Amino acid sequence: MSAQVVDSISQKTVKRFVDECISPGQTVRTDAFRSMNVIGQTQFHESRVTPGKEAGKWLPWVHIVISNLKTFLNGTFHGVSGGYLQEYLDECCYRFNRRFWENELPFRLLNACLIHKPLPITDFR
């Protein structure tokens, strides 16, 4: 999962996001929003006009991701300010993408400790 704050959903912002976040040749499903048509230039793009009641069938992860994001923002931070929204989205994506890696956490922590360069000791008197 990847998310990016944008001022508007235009072909320009969609193209920039796709170029930065999605490897060429992947299949991308969207609703039939016009600005998403630019995805077909580098990806296999499947779009469909999707009524709200059918969104869960065509785009099953959309509601899950939005629900998780809302819970994360309201529960953890009790709301957000626009200036830090991208950082909140980054944190939510980081957690979502690693949700099944719980058993790897001790090894990842140990690895981070081993490769981290020690800080110089300073006198705090």
Q: Are 37 and 52 in contact (CB under 8 A)?
A: no
Mean pLDDT of all residues in 38-48: 94
- The verdict on residue 91 lying in a domain is yes
Q: Are 23 and 39 in contact (CB under 8 A)?
A: no
- The verdict on residue 33 lying in a domain is yes
56-91 residue pLDDT tens: 889 988 888 888 888 888 887 777 778 888 998 998
- The verdict on residue 95 lying in a domain is yes
pTM of the predicted protein model: 0.71
| Number of domains composing the chain | 1
- The verdict on residue 2 lying in a domain is no
Task: Kindly give, in sequence order, each residue whose CB lies less than 8 Å from that of residue 63, ignoring residues fewer than 6 positions away.
Answer: 55, 56
- The verdict on residue 106 lying in a domain is no
Instruction: Please give the residue range of the domain that contains residue 66.
Output: 11-99
Q: Are 11 and 35 in contact (CB under 8 A)?
A: yes
pLDDT of residue 54: 86
86 vs 43: CA distance, rounded Å:
25
User: Does the pLDDT of residue 95 top 80, yes or no?
Assistant: yes
- The verdict on residue 37 lying in a domain is yes
- The verdict on residue 76 lying in a domain is yes
User: Does the pLDDT of residue 18 top 70, yes or no?
Assistant: yes
- The verdict on residue 6 lying in a domain is no
